[in-house]
A and B are shown apart, each in its own frame.
Chain A
Amino acid sequence: GAGVSQSPRYKVAKRGQDVALRCDPISGHVSLFWYQQALGQGPEFLTYFQNEAQLDKSGLPSDRFFAERPEGSVSTLKIQRTQQEDSAVYLCASSFTGREQYFGPGTRLTVT
């Protein structure tokens, strides 16, 4: 079946612009996670949803980062007033159990 999909795959933003990154989880997966991966590093947790409820947002680095999942399926990660340090790959993962997580291909964000 279809895996996790993310769009866009690549995004270039000028510093100060707002961006929106989309994640389509595996059908039926109630848990959805966002991670940030810097070059040469492992992914780092940003936020977690169970259905439409955002249960943990402790990893969001600043109040410029905002995530939503209004209908418990598709999720959007929004970054306002992007800065160069936001340049990274943003990964979305979904899970049925909340334990085994399946990742999408990621969105590579470059802030110039």
Chain B
Amino acid sequence: QKEVEQDPGPLSVPEGAIVSLNCTYSNSAFQYFMWYRQYSRKGPELLMYTYSSGNKEDGRFTAQVDKSSKYISLFIRDSQPSDSATYLCAMSAAGSARQLTFGSGTQLTVLP
């Protein structure tokens, strides 16, 4: 079983919808949580970065971390066709180990 599980989708929503993307993880050492957006044939782009549990909002994006359930979410409000991409969750442990462990990504399409 992978350390980070993410539903691959594909997920298709109409423009303006609220999108919910989720990941679960098994390693309780993870303390830093990130969401990346990756367009086709491009590198991952950092969207959100949170430390430990709680919520963080940035424009139309909200990231939530529930460490007790080992569950993280990304919400996208008022989704736009330009949000169509693959969304990757990523996380890392505290201490000297800095590498990110990624989910497999959820492919999102926002239909105009």
Binding site for B on A (CB under 8 A): 4, 31, 33, 35, 40-45, 48, 55-56, 59, 91, 95, 98-106, 108
Contacts A42-B90, A91-B43, A91-B44 known; A98 to B98 CB distance under 8 Å?
Answer: yes
Q: Is B61 interfacial (CB 8 A cutoff)?
A: no
Specify which chain B residues have a CB less than 8 angstroms from the CB of A100 in the assembled complex: 34, 46, 49
A79 to chain B, nearest CB (A): 19
Specify which chain B residues have a CB less than 8 angstroms from the CB of A95 in the assembled complex. 98
Which residue among B6, B92, B100, B105 has the maximum number of chain A CB atoms within 10 Å of its CB? B100
Give, as a whole number of angstroms, the nearest-CB distance from B21 to chain A. Answer: 13
B72 in the interface, Cβ–Cβ < 8 Å? no
The reply to whether the CB of B88 lies closer than 8 angstroms to some CB of chain A is: yes
Question: Is A99 a contact partner of B49 (Cβ separation < 8 A)?
Answer: yes
